[in-house]
């Protein structure tokens, strides 16, 4: 198997183009779901900090659901299940416009939002209550004290798990292949089916994933070192 | 929705069991348990290699852990699907492929947790054990591991729960586990995808949430024991304060 490796046929022009499309889709999917996840995660963590028991229960339920159901099941529910709840016209539009990418972004984004909100929440809890009280006594509103005093500190404290979950999010975009998003894993499988150079193409795909993951971890470690709040 | 569940409950929970191969939720749990049964010992070994002073052991184990952490599970499944038959010389079932992948994947993540547990123990523990004349092996076995594992129990258990969720990846190589069964039910019903996949999500939720609550119970127990200082087998914090005073 390993005696005659043939990377030349893998790196033939149409395959490279194909592969780059896959990389592009993975990057795009990572970006859209990351933005959704971070935004929603921050909002949920903030809402939970407001101390309204009803909202607290609601967010806790959201987090519990998304952390205890496999992402693949969530993808299926969004992609196969959700459109059937829509009116017929919308369903037709979705069917003709290729909705895999949108639903993959939503499913991955909403799922990872639960993890990010927990990261930020633990960051929020690590900021002492005195900080909040001081900000409020200085006349800042709840939103402003959150925005300028509490959240910046919690983000810095929550940085390590935050980076970790970003790597997880990037890796989990590969699940979108199950609903037919033509991202990197899907493309790798496709090229494998065409060329039968299994080892070579898997190696190329793995190296790409590994390079991005390790870079994310490396950048993450640097950012963590930079933003770490020094011990007093 | 309830009628879809009751009508398909047997298939979803047990597969075709008495008349055919076991599947559904039962297979999901079997996969998770089997994966963990091998992953936990392997993770201890990996952690031991990573903290070992010998580079021959620490470098390869570190590389392995980083590779597994950096590559998606789906990709690893495809790798085992292709490599395991090449390595052992004959075809293996998708079930075996999935178990092998889960073992390697979970062992890497668990070993990171165990390593963190070992490294967070105060140095004094190892040093005093060594000065008492214990060998490296017996220091690890009797002093370091018991404390590190106890401290990390909640994290280890939550990682175990994610094994249950990770078995869903078996769907892509057609292992008859819960997700695959749901997809089959969906294919036979055709018109009720939302209901079918909501049932799927709720079944996973019921299992994993129950386990999560148990882990939270364990976590509370551990922190309570720490707070009251009644620790029969773990004295790291007390010893630490004694050593540092």
Ramachandran bin of B30, using left for φ above 0, alpha for ψ from -120 to 50, beta for the remaining angles: alpha
d(CA B158, CA A64): 13
Give the range of the structural domain holding residue B127, as residue numbers without chain letter. 2-244
Asked if A1 has any chain B CB less than 8 Å from its own CB, the reply is: yes
What pLDDT score was predicted for residue A3? Answer: 57
- For an interface test with A, which of B66, B72, B89, B178 has the most A Cβ atoms less than 10 Å from its Cβ? B72
Q: Determine the distance in angstroms separating the CA of A116 from the nearest CA of chain B, rounded to an integer.
A: 17
What pLDDT score was predicted for residue B245? Answer: 36
Confidence of residue B238 (pLDDT cuts 50, 70, 90): very low
All structural domains of chain A = 7-227 (1.10.3720.10)
What pLDDT score was predicted for residue B191? Answer: 86
Q: Do B169 and A72 touch (CB under 8 A)?
A: yes
Residue of A nearest to B69 (CA): A213
Instruction: Give per-residue pLDDT as tens, B52-98.
Output: 889 999 999 999 999 999 999 999 999 999 888 888 888 889 999 99
| Cβ-contact A173, A32 below 8 angstroms | no
d(CA A149, CA A140): 10
- Cβ contacts below 8 Å, chain A against chain B, sum to 115
B contacts of A203 (beta carbons < 8 Å): none
Residue of A nearest to B174 (CA): A178
| Cβ-contact A184, A174 below 8 angstroms | yes
| Cβ-contact A121, A49 below 8 angstroms | yes
Q: Determine the distance in angstroms separating the CA of B168 from the nearest CA of chain A, rounded to an integer.
A: 7
| Cβ-contact A69, A146 below 8 angstroms | no
A53-68 and B193-228 helices cross at what angle (nearest 10)?
A: 110
Q: What are the CA-CA distances from residue A102 to residues A25, A65, B162, B168 (Å)?
A: 12, 21, 26, 22
Q: Do B168 and A177 touch (CB under 8 A)?
A: no
Q: Choose among A208, A4, A69: nearest CA to B75.
A: A208
| pTM (two decimals) | 0.88
| Cβ-contact B38, B192 below 8 angstroms | no
Q: Is the ipTM of this complex over 0.90?
A: no
State the CATH number of the domain containing residue B239. Answer: 1.10.3720.10
Q: Is the pLDDT of residue B231 over 60?
A: no
What pLDDT score was predicted for residue B228? Answer: 74
Ramachandran bin of B229, using left for φ above 0, alpha for ψ from -120 to 50, beta for the remaining angles: left
Instruction: Give per-residue pLDDT as tens, B188-226.
Output: 988 889 999 999 999 999 999 999 999 999 989 888 887
Q: Do A69 and B67 touch (CB under 8 A)?
A: no
Q: Do A72 and B168 touch (CB under 8 A)?
A: yes
To 10 degrees, the CA torsion angle through A193, A196, A200, A201? -10
């Amino acid at each position: 198997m390993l005696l005659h490796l043939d990377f030349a046929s893998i790196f033939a022009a149409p395959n490279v183009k194909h592969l780059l499309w896959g990389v592009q889709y993975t990057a795009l999917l990572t970006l859209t779901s990351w933005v959704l996840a971070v935004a929603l995660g921050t909002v949920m963590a903030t809402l939970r900090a407001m101390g309204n028991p009803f909202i607290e229960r609601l967010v806790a339920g959201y987090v519990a659901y998304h952390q205890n159901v496999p992402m693949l099941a969530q993808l299926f529910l969004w992609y196969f299940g959700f459109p059937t709840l829509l009116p017929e016209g919308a369903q037709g539009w979705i069917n003709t416009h290729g909705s895999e990418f949108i639903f993959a972004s939503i499913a991955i984004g909403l799922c990872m939002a639960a993890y990010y909100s927990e990261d930020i929440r633990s960051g929020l809890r690590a900021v002492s209550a005195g900080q909040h009280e001081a900000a409020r006594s200085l006349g800042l509103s709840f939103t402003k004290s959150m925005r300028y005093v509490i959240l910046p500190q919690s983000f810095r404290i929550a940085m390590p798990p935050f980076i970790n979950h970003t790597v997880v999010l990037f890796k989990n975009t590969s699940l979108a292949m199950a609903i037919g998003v033509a991202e990197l894993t899907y493309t790798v499988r496709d090229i494998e089916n065409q060329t039968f150079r299994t080892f070579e193409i898997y190696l190329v795909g793995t190296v790409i994933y590994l390079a991005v993951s390790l870079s994310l971890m490396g950048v993450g470690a640097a950012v963590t070192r930079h933003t770490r709040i020094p011990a007093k | 929705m309830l009628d879809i569940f009751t009508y398909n409950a047997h298939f979803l929970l047990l597969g075709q069991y008495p008349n055919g191969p076991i599947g559904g939720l039962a297979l999901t749990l079997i996969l998770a348990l089997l994966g963990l049964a091998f992953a936990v010992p392997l993770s201890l070994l990996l952690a031991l290699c990573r903290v070992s002073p010998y580079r021959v052991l620490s470098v390869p184990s570190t590389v392995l852990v980083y590779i597994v952490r950096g590559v998606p599970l789906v990709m690893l499944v495809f790798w085992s699907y292709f490599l395991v038959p090449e390595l052992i010389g004959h075809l293996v079932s998708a079930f075996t492929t999935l178990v092998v992948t889960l073992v390697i994947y979970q062992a890497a993540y668990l070993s990171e947790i165990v390593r963190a547990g070992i490294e967070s123990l105060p140095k004094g523990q190892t040093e005093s054990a060594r000065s008492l004349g214990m060998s490296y092996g017996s220091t690890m076995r009797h002093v370091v591991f018991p404390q590190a594992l106890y401290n990390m129990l909640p994290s280890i258990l939550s990682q175990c729960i994610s094994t249950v969720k990770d078995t869903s990846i078996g769907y892509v190589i057609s292992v008859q586990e819960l997700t695959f069964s749901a997809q089959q039910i969906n294919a036979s019903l055709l018109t009720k995808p939302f209901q079918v996949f909501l049932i799927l999500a709720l079944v996973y939720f019921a299992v994993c949430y129950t386990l999560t609550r148990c882990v939270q119970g364990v976590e509370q127990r551990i922190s309570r024991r720490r707070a009251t200082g009644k620790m029969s087998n773990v004295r790291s914090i007390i010893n630490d304060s004694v050593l540092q005073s």
